[in-house]
Every structure is written in structure tokens, then in C-alpha cells.
Amino acid sequence: MGNNNEQDNYRNEIYSKSVRAGKRTYFFDVKATRSGDHYLTITESKKKFDQDGNFHFEKHKIFLYKEDFDKFKDGLSEVVDKINTLNEDFSQENDSAEKSYKDVEFEDLD
């Protein structure tokens, strides 16, 4: 029976895209239900090692259905934009702090 599940899984996979990101790989798989509706699975895969040096892949999977695509995309876009803004603000603060440290003369420290 396991063989039928593998065949069904292969048959309902429409498109797949993998993205390597450091120690992780993300898989974006477009699949179809028996009724022909498309959905997306997002899988994070990370290689883990045990104490003996053997490895296995730890995987986490999200199922995203077509009625949620726009909300998910909008939410992800908003959060990524916010992170970019926060990183820019943080970078500017660090640049200012570095400049003020560079302007300090040792004589000023007494």
C-alpha cells in the first residue's frame, strides 16, 4: 500500500522549486487534490547530526490552500518590509554610534 501513496504523491505534484539558504533548504511544491484544486506545501529541511556523527533531515511542512494565497502573500510581504525597515534603522543607528566613537580623542577621556 505504501507504493500507491508514493505514486499518488508523485502524480499530484505539479511543480517544485527548491531554495538553498545556508544550512536549510526550502521546498515549494505545487500539488493538486483529487478534485483538481491546487495548493502549496512549503517544507523547511535542515540537516541535523547526532553525537556519533550520523545525520538525518529535520523537516517542517506548511500546507497553504488557494483561498489563503493572497492573505499569506500580503502578510509575508508586510513582515519582510517591516524587517527591512527595522534593519535599515538599526544600521543607521550603528553608523551614528560608530562615527561618534571615532570622533573621540583619547585626551577627551580624562
Tell me the whole-structure pTM to 2 decimals: 0.65
8 Å CB contact between 24 and 44:
yes
The mean pLDDT value for 74-95 works out to: 89
Helix segments in the chain, DSSP class H = 2-11, 69-102
60: domain CATH number is 3.10.450.700
The total domain count for the chain is 1
Q: Which of 32-41, 79-88, 91-100 comes out lowest in average pLDDT?
A: 91-100
8 Å CB contact between 23 and 47:
yes
Range of the domain at 35: 2-109
Q: Which of 34, 43, 33, 35 is nearest to 65 (CA)?
A: 33
- pLDDT reading at 89 higher than 70: yes
